[in-house]
Structure 1
Amino acid sequence: MVHRTEIAKAIEIVDGYVAYCPSPAPDHQTANRRLANLLERYAGAAMREGHECLTVNTDVDLRLRDLPLLNRRPDVALYRCLDRTRGERLRAEHTLLVAEIVSPGSETQHTTDKLGEYAKAGIPHYWIVRLDRTGVSVIERYRLDRATMLYKHTGTFMKDEIGETPLVSNPIPIVVDWSELEF
């Protein structure tokens, strides 16, 4: 018997239509988990420094709009803690950062479709993550321009660049340690 949660993990709702999402490849899943672990560690540090309650999740149901219905399942999401006692659903207004890992065949979806959908929904930060044979190799960072409701590219971190360790200050302070993102 197939449970509703199993079905929900295999679909997204785009403009009211069901879109099947096949399970990602093992390398994608490993990168996903390691990026979430990195973000979760820095979310914990931010909360210890007085930031509001934060949660990091992978493959979580994110409601971008109600009509027509648009639910996405980002690879990694950093968001404000939800009120579980009220059964609060994760929505764009709770979300601070969404990261999507590009896989073969998902380039357009992540660099065009989701980029526009997340921006229009008002999510402040979007990362496009690319892999090579050894793990995460590129992180393209975007920040929402509230005047246009479009993302502006704020920088690209590349694993093979020689120099300082990549630092991010928004939405929370994060140090990108490439060794934590290797397979």
Structure 2
Amino acid sequence: MDGLAAMAAADEHHRYEMTSDGQVMISPIGDPAVAAVVSRLAMSLLRAYGSERVVVHLGIDFAEGGVRVPDISLWDHLPRASRAGYVGTEGLRLIAEVRQGSDPVGWLDRGAVYAAAGVPSYWVIDQGDTKVAHRHLLDAGGTYRPHPSGPVPIDRLLATAPNTD
């Protein structure tokens, strides 16, 4: 874990993550269209929840699930660093990730990792052709289910105060 943290600290242009089996994934931070959506969503969440609860591109240690760096995370309180400078999952309420195009390696297991950690809400913002937010809520059995109101157009989500429920 210290090696991963050192690589990430030395390279501000890439995201360094680790899967549960120790595979390191290196990907660019994102293109301008993705960065713009992340910025707009972060501003919307900041207005609704405050600067002590919303964090962009924070390395999160999911223990058995590896290390992930989601685009945006929402917390009960500002998280504290744990192993190798990454934060644990205590108080984590929402993870939101923006994707464009096909899923990169490791994308498909993210929801399972977040669900196993008990993250109550997981949003996937599709910046591709559909331009919608797929919101998922954790059920009592520990599985994500689609939000009852279905996918939401990105512009509508960003025009309102986001509710994580």
TM-score by length of 2: 0.75
Verify: 1:95 aligned to 2:111, yes or no.
no
Counterpart-to-counterpart distance in 1, 2:27 and 2:79: 25
Between the aligned partners of 2:90 and 2:17, the Cα distance in structure 1 is: 19
* C-alpha displacement of 1:72: 0.2
Alignment CA distance shift 1:23-1:54 (3 Å): closer
- Larger Rg belongs to: 1
Which residue of structure 1 aligns with residue 3 of structure 2?
A: none
Q: Which AA in structure 2 matches 1:26? A: P
Q: With the length of structure 1 as denominator, give the TM-score of the two structures.
A: 0.68
> Contact 1:102 / 1:130 at 8 angstroms: preserved in 2?
yes
Matching residue's letter, 1:60: L
Deviations 1:68-101 (A, max 9, x none): x6000001111121357xx985222221100011
> Secondary structure in 2 aligned to 1:21?
strand
CA RMSD of aligned residues (A): 3.1
More strand by share: 1
Alpha carbons 2:125, 2:154 under 8 Å: kept: no
Taking the aligned partners of 1:3 and 1:159, their CA distance within structure 2 comes to 33
Residue 114 (structure 1) shift:
0.9
Q: Distance in 2 between matches of 1:148 and 1:108?
A: 27
Match of 2:141 in 1: 148
CA-CA distance at 1:148 after TM superposition? 1.7
For the 8 Å contact 1:43–1:55, the answer to whether it is kept is: yes
SS of match in other structure, 2:53 = strand
Tell me, yes or no, if the aligned pair for 2:101 and 2:128 is still in contact at 8 Å.
no
List 4+ stretches of structure 1 deviating above 6 A. none
SS at match of 2:45: helix
Distance 2:9 2:111 in 1: 26
Q: What is the SS of the residue equivalent to 1:36?
A: helix
Percent of aligned positions with the same letter in both sequences?
Answer: 24
Match of 1:139, SS? strand
* Corresponding position of 1:70: 66
Q: Could you say which residue in structure 2 is the equivalent of 1:58?
A: 56
Q: Secondary structure at the match of 2:46?
A: helix
Separation in structure 2 between the aligned mates of residue 167 and residue 33 of structure 1, nearest angstrom: 15
Residue in structure 1 matched with residue 9 of structure 2 by the alignment: 5
Instruction: Give yes or no for contact 2:116–2:142 (8 Å, CA) kept in 1.
Output: yes
1:157 aligned onto 2:163? no
Give the AA of the match of 1:100: E
